[in-house]
Structure 1
Amino acid sequence: MKTLRIAGAGLVASVLIAAGCGGGGGIGGTGQDAGTMRVSIGDAPACGYEAVNVTIERVRVNKSPTAGEGDAGWSEVVLSPARRIDLLTLTNGVLEDLGQTSLPAGRYTQLRLVLATNDAAHPLANSVVPTGGQETALETPSAEQSGLKLNLDVDVPVGKVVDVALDFDACRSIVRLGNSGRYNLKPVLSATTVLSDAGQRVVGYVDPAASIAGTTVSLQSGGTVVKAAAPDATGKFVLYPVPVGSYDLVVSATGRVTAVMTGVPVTLAAYTYVASASAPLVPPVSTPADRPVGGTVMPAPATVRALQTLGGATTVEVRGGNVDGLTGAFQLLLPNGAPVASPYAADPLLLNFKADAGAAGHYVVEATSSGVSKTQAVDTSVPVAELNFTFP
């Protein structure tokens, strides 16, 4: 998921002055009523794509969560010229700074990220490159008009600087449209206030043998992904920035069982290390082989995910994504082997992963369309019949 980071005395924007990019436009705060905002962008893993390019034109913020495009109270961050960024080049905690601005102090509750239009002069301003495929225009009608909307709850104190990181989940934000060769952008965005570079970060290693294409490491809360990353070639992963709290760390890899570490703390004061290069996380090979679970969700667009409960208490998301935007079709490849879990230990040598045989092959598949969800329990120890979810 990509991270659009906004830093400042609070969250809001009037004018963005990006290093090397110029800036302009907007309504800024001045004198004693102003704070400062910085903006940067980063990412997390994206499945099935070699590149996800977006061209950012401006960022609009408002104190009203219901303000319309033409209503009063908007401040703008303008990138001049607009900047084209491949979100997939920014991962494992890397953030690209876009600039900073002065703005009126106060609480901001709405942000809109406005992308440039794919036009005759710039037909691939926003595009995707499917794995092994050709670069294709990414259709972004909402972004080109009113902007990609995100609800916020961020204070901009007078005379202070605040960082806010926006996660742009590229994997869940791109919708394939059947065999048409077309792709839509259906953005999945979230925001995290960055309070300290000294903490809010989880660092670890996955065994490089298990760190293959499609491997993800995520921090989850109650089965909801808060932050995700793809390990690099050495198996190292960095999850940053993350809100202070306690999380379940989940390692998902093709052909491997799901590995879960419970009670992982995230603090402001220091990094949290969950494994080292000499003692990496090693999810066991899944036996028998992974089982495909597929079907349809209509109407599309819609999302689907597979949840698994360990120890009768800890629920995690194992796989998930968008269904096909035209046909509603989906397929999830789910591990059959018993998941393993261990409580967090500061010393990776003290981790004690144990298999949960009772959870092996047992999942709940959740489909969501227009904010409404339906679920179906499945057992992958045997072939699973096609699942069909229909919403009114």
Structure 2
Amino acid sequence: MLLLIIAPLSGLLISCNDEDDTTQGTSKVTVRMTDAPGDYDEVNVEVLDVMIKNNSDTSDNGWVSIGNISPGIYNLLDLTGGITVLLADNEVPSGLLGQIRLVLGDENTVVKDGVTYPLNTPSAQQSGLKLQINQTLQAGATYNFLLDFDVEHSVVVEAGGSGNYNLHPVIRVTTEATSGAIKGTILPITVQTLASVEVNGTLVSAYTNEQGVFQLNGIPSGTYTVTLTPDIASGLTVLVVENVVVVNGEITNMGSLTLP
């Protein structure tokens, strides 16, 4: 079993006497997973559990299951163009949530050109990937966390021509309250296109799916330049769209965009 640590968020499980009433009681927490697709037929990941921790302590103690889990093997490439899967949905104690941990099984595979390969996780990766969010959960509020799996950078072909595929997870964790999304449809839909935007020095990107749809998740409110880069074999050129406005909690739909 692989235990993949995903995110020191912030806010949950503390109930001290000197706390404000807004952190007494429970908060509704949902955890969803989506994907920025890569150039594979399938990338299948077995999810067993979603766990949380009540503080920002980096030790491996204090983990509990969030409960009400939807375990299963998920093809990440089905989760594109704004499609997500609900992994966990439950009431949890309000207060400081330290971390969230995605627990994976060993039934992880990648399909390339119709051939299925094991998707291995090197032992060095078993300590996981931690992402800081720092947010206190208020009593009675609902928090929707989105785990955005970047397949293009998470699946690595082993050097030396061995044909082995390794999982080096690259995951962004965002919330609806503190970010929005950019969506659009690229024409012609038969051309795989990479949509990208720079956010505070970090490049956020996603390929179009089979319907030509892309969605860039976890984009904070602001005005951005979206770059659409088609497959070089198509002979089409890059399309740059400026002044794309994003509002927290909303999806900015750019509509249909035709590559030049």
Shorter-chain TM-score tier:
0.7 to 0.9
The higher radius of gyration belongs to 1
Question: Residues 243 and 252 from structure 1, CA distance in 2 versus in 1: closer, same or farther, beyond 3 angstroms?
Answer: same
How far off is 1:142 after superposition? 5.3
- Equivalent of 2:219, from 232, 235, 242? 242
Aligned partners of 2:247 and 2:35: how far apart in 1? 21
CA contact (8 A) 2:157 2:164 kept: yes
Q: Which residue pairs with 1:171 in the alignment?
A: 152
How far off is 1:182 after superposition? 1.2
Q: Which residue pairs with 1:187 in the alignment?
A: 169
- Equivalent of 1:261, from 205, 228, 241? 241
Q: Which residue pairs with 2:49 in the alignment?
A: 58
SS at match of 1:171: helix
Aligned partners of 2:76 and 2:239: how far apart in 1? 27
Q: Does 1:45 align with 2:37?
A: yes
Q: Which residue pairs with 1:105 in the alignment?
A: 94
Aligned partners of 1:129 and 1:219: how far apart in 2? 28
Could you give the per-residue CA deviations for residues 81-122 of structure 1, whole angstroms, max 9, x where no partner exists?
A: 731101111100111123311222123343221211x3xxxx
Counterpart mapping for 1:1-392 below 5 A: 32-47=24-39, 49-69=40-60, 71-72=61-62, 74-77=63-66, 82-116=71-105, 118=106, 125-130=107-112, 132-141=113-122, 146-178=127-159, 179-195=161-177, 200-208=180-188, 211-213=190-192, 215-221=193-199, 224-233=202-211, 235-255=212-232, 256-268=236-248, 271-276=251-256, 280-282=257-259, 284=260
Aligned partners of 1:164 and 1:100: how far apart in 2? 10
How far off is 1:43 after superposition? 1.4
| Unpaired segments ≥5 residues, structure 1 | 1-5, 14-30, 119-124, 285-392
**Aligned alpha-carbon RMSD (Å):** 3.1
The letter of the residue matching 1:212 is V
Larger RCO, structure (CA 8 Å, separation 6 or more): 2
Q: Percent identity?
A: 32
How far off is 1:79 after superposition? 6.8
Question: Residues 236 and 181 from structure 1, CA distance in 2 versus in 1: closer, same or farther, beyond 3 angstroms?
Answer: closer
Aligned partners of 2:134 and 2:143: how far apart in 1? 13
Aligned partners of 2:187 and 2:32: how far apart in 1? 31
The letter of the residue matching 1:86 is N
How far off is 1:40 after superposition? 1.9
Q: TM-score with structure 2 length normalisation?
A: 0.78
| Unpaired segments ≥5 residues, structure 2 | 1-5, 14-22
Aligned partners of 1:144 and 1:158: how far apart in 2? 35
Aligned partners of 2:199 and 2:207: how far apart in 1? 16
Question: Residues 88 and 55 from structure 1, CA distance in 2 versus in 1: closer, same or farther, beyond 3 angstroms?
Answer: same
Question: Residues 241 and 95 from structure 1, CA distance in 2 versus in 1: closer, same or farther, beyond 3 angstroms?
Answer: farther
Could you give the per-residue CA deviations for residues 114-171 of structure 1, whole angstroms, max 9, x where no partner exists?
A: 211x3xxxxxx111112x1421111124599555433332321112111111211011
The letter of the residue matching 2:243 is G
Question: Residues 190 and 269 from structure 1, CA distance in 2 versus in 1: closer, same or farther, beyond 3 angstroms?
Answer: closer
The letter of the residue matching 1:137 is P
CA contact (8 A) 1:62 1:108 kept: yes
Q: TM-score with structure 1 length normalisation?
A: 0.54
SS at match of 1:195: helix
Aligned partners of 1:63 and 1:281: how far apart in 2? 48
Could you give the per-residue CA deviations for residues 314-371 of structure 1, whole angstroms, max 9, x where no partner exists?
A: xxxxxxxxxxxxxxxxxxxxxxxxxxxxxxxxxxxxxxxxxxxxxxxxxxxxxxxxxx
CA contact (8 A) 1:175 1:185 kept: yes
How far off is 1:266 after superposition? 0.5
